[in-house]
Amino acid sequence: MSDPAVIDDDLREKLLSQPETILDDQDLMRALIAANERAMGANIVDMRGIAMERLEARLDRLEETHRSVIAAAYENLAGMNIIHRAILRMLDPADFAEFMKELDGEVAEILRVDCVRLVLETVQDDKNPAVKKLGAVLSTAEPGFIDEYLNQGRDTGQRPVTLRQVREQDESIYGETGFWVRSEACLRLDLGEGRLPGMLVLGAEDPHQFKPGQGTDLLAFFGGVFERAMRRWLS
Residues 78-137 pLDDT 10s: 888 999 999 999 888 888 888 888 888 899 999 999 989 999 988 775 555 555 556 678
Tell the burial category of 59 from Cβ atoms under 10 Å away from its Cβ (0-12, 13-18, 19+).
exposed
Higher-pLDDT residue of 146 and 35 is 146
Is 88-234 in CATH node 3.30.450.40? yes
Output the pLDDT for position 11. 77
Question: Domain coordinates of the chain in residue numbers?
Answer: 88-234
Predicted structure pTM score: 0.67
Contact 76, 139 (CB under 8 A): no
Output the pLDDT for position 41. 60
In this structure, the chain runs to a length of 235
Task: Using the predicted structure, report yes or no on whether residue 160 has a pLDDT greater than 70.
Answer: yes
Interatomic CA distance for residues 115 and 92, integer angstroms = 19
